[in-house]
Amino acid sequence: MTGGVLLFYVTYVILLLCSLLLMAAFTWSGSTLIAYASYQGISGIFMSVSGAVLLLLGILQAVFIALFLFSRHKTTVPYRTVVTEKEQPVLFDFIHKLVQQTKAPYPKKVYLVPDVNAVVFHSPGITGLFGEADKNLVIGLGMVNSLNISEFKMVLAHEFGHFSQRSMKLVLHVYTINKIIYNILYENKGWRNAIIWLSNKGLLAALLSRLFVLLAAGLHFLFRNMHELINQQYMRLSREMEFNADEVALSICGTETAISAMRRAEMSNACFQQLLQRATTWARQQRFIRNIYEAHSMLIKYHAKQHSTPLDHQQLPQYNDDQFGTTVRSQVQFRDRWASHPTQEEREQRYLEANIPGVTITQSAWTLFHDAETLQEHMSQQVYQVLTPEEKPEQWAPAEEFIREIEAFHEQYAFPAPYNNYYDDRPFSDIPPGRLEPFSEEEQTLYTLSTLYAGEHRQRIRHYFRDMQDAATLQAIISGEIQVTQFTYGNVQYRSHEALKILDKLQQQIGRNGDWLQEHDLLALRYHYTFALRHALEAATNLQEQYKRILSHQNRAAALNEIAGMIMESIPIFYSDNNIPPAKADYRIQILRQEAEELQQLLQDLLFQHHISDQWEPDLQQKVAHFIQYQYPYLLAHPPLPEELEAMHDISAAVSDHYNNSILLMKKDFLYRCLDFSELSVAH
């Protein structure tokens, strides 16, 4: 890692020196030519012009390199609040004791932020890079809101474990280098503006600007490759640093605390992100929560209730292995080249192997903070200033109302409990044409509601859809869309060229599970059809027709999703590349027009289905009507502008979202009706 950092600095200095030497050489050559030309008569005029050109070229290339390599970009960090020992004496006493235990330097400053996080960072600047930098600690109040004191201690001890590592100095260098390279590649507009200005100053200046464009392309290539080289090394270093910091924290807090802290933090972060999304929507409706951490705690408890997770006496969820084991994760894993942390599974495995006992202090981490409620409300106001700066809180809504709204939304789309999540988050399977076959007498004795919708079926369905996603990932590795040298599948490491062999086996497994799901969905439908047939032929026929209508809506929704994806893919092409080859542009426009035609037809169909379109907001209804009447004919005659593509995408995405929700309600209604044709109705 040190070698990579030195390589960057040496390359940077060499580029500057070469530019200065080139400017000096051009200046000396140009000056010499001009001085010599004064003795040469008429021919001296051409020599003087040549000398002036050399002088100008030397100066321009130096200016260009300076503009390319130097650009001040100020990074702002929202809602980072400094807290002092005078304000929070108990917290600082806790930090002081923890610093002694970890044998780490004491933080120069302690900051509070609203989210679920805790980090350490060096103070920026040249002094920090090449001298003794101050170390600072950032504490997220969302993290405090979801941990007990022991778990909070584990999180901070992990960060102090970073404080004690000499390699943190390298991290600061890598961070600075990444900022420099990112600024050069993506944010520095100075040299681009200079080239545009130069290209408008005549033919010779335009030719010179093309030369600078080629130079910029070469420098971009150099810095992109250097960025990749440095970060490949940094990833390895960062991974080891995380494990070392874990060892420091684990030795102090123990295995059980480490695992519970990680699990609670993960679920808490998911709840906090959901909270921020909903709070933003509420703010635009002029509804504000005075204390978002009160709502955050309620949301954590609500999700725990939804997943049958027990709470301790501090009302914090107790996540066990079984509850985390229900999450089906991809079997294809390859480390994100820009990732700096090991996976949760890797860290938990190391915690378990260490098997270090610890003492748990179950009180909430908020007990370490003075006047916690005022602090929470102050941070909540800062969150709103960043999320919706244009909206000013005028009235406060109780946090309970926020949770009731989320609960009502979930209940609105939740399927009946007897199905054991069998139909959740997936489409209904196709059925063969013609009338369904009722159960035989033998089948009626074999299958019941509880056996058809047993809990283990849901896990098999999850694995089936997980495998399909893994197959798509493997296909992307094979085609080169995902460029990796190696990956793991089922915790076994493979080279990228072995992806095809795994894909073949996986597709066979997908085929078997797909056939099983198709057959089992049909079996379940026939079960309800049999009970409906006992009631009346008309009831059974209506049940089958209702299922077919849902399948028809599913197909339309899938087509709408594909159109939205296609439009989304087209936006960056028309945005970022102004030099699209004519043949490619014509082909892309032709595809877009086909998608627009299909979109127009779908929107017309949905607009006249009032049980669906009446649920749209008036603004969306107007946009759809405008697209059908005006926008689509326009697209037939003109290439689309980027903003028009965005409008198309917004319409298709919004209608798709509403349509999928409508289909969920259709499915819910169908499934409740199926319960009327089951052994439950017979029992009642």
pLDDT tens digits, 215-254:
877 888 888 888 777 777 777 777 788 888 888 899 999 9
Taken in order 616, 620, 623, 627, the sign of the CA dihedral is negative
Looking at the DSSP bridge assignments, the partners of residue 113 are: 140
CA-wise closest residue to 110 among 124, 96, 127? 96
pLDDT the model gives residue 518: 96
**Domain ranges in the chain?**
15-70, 416-534, 536-684
Cβ(560)–Cβ(656) below 8 Å:
yes
Pairing of strands 492-495, 486-489: antiparallel
CA-wise closest residue to 548 among 658, 435, 452? 435
Q: How many CA atoms lie less than 13 Å away from 339 in the CB half-sphere? A: 12
> With helix as H, strand as E and coil as C, how does 262-313 read?
HHHHHHHHHHHHHHHHHHHHHHHCCCEECCHHHHHHHHHHHHHHHCCCCECC
Picking from 45-49, 592-596, 610-614, which range would have the lowest pLDDT averaged per residue?
45-49
d(CA 549, CA 667): 10
d(CA 245, CA 241): 6
pLDDT the model gives residue 135: 81
pLDDT the model gives residue 336: 44
pLDDT the model gives residue 339: 43
Number of Cβ atoms within 10 Å of the Cβ of 40: 13
Task: Say which CATH class 536-684 falls into.
Answer: mainly alpha
Looking at the DSSP bridge assignments, the partners of residue 122 are: 135
Based on the number of CB atoms within 10 Å of its own CB, is 619 exposed (0-12), middle (13-18) or buried (19 or more)?
Answer: exposed
Which residue is listed with tokens 């495995």?
349
pLDDT the model gives residue 52: 79
d(CA 163, CA 428): 53
d(CA 341, CA 239): 6
What confidence tens digit (pLDDT) does each residue in 477-515 have? 898 888 777 888 877 888 888 899 999 999 999 999 999
pLDDT the model gives residue 133: 65
Q: Which two tokens stand for residue 661?
A: 């929700």
What confidence tens digit (pLDDT) does each residue in 300-355 have? 999 888 888 888 888 888 887 665 555 567 787 765 444 456 777 778 888 999 99
| 36 Cβ contact partners less than 8 Å away, ≥ 6 residues apart | 44, 47
Mapping DSSP to helix (H, G, I), strand (E, B) and coil, where does residue 241 land? helix
d(CA 112, CA 172): 21
Average pLDDT, whole number, for the chain?
84
What confidence tens digit (pLDDT) does each residue in 165-222 have? 666 667 777 777 777 777 777 666 666 677 777 777 777 777 777 777 788 778 888 8
What confidence tens digit (pLDDT) does each residue in 86-142 have? 999 999 999 999 999 988 888 889 999 999 988 887 766 555 555 566 788 999 999
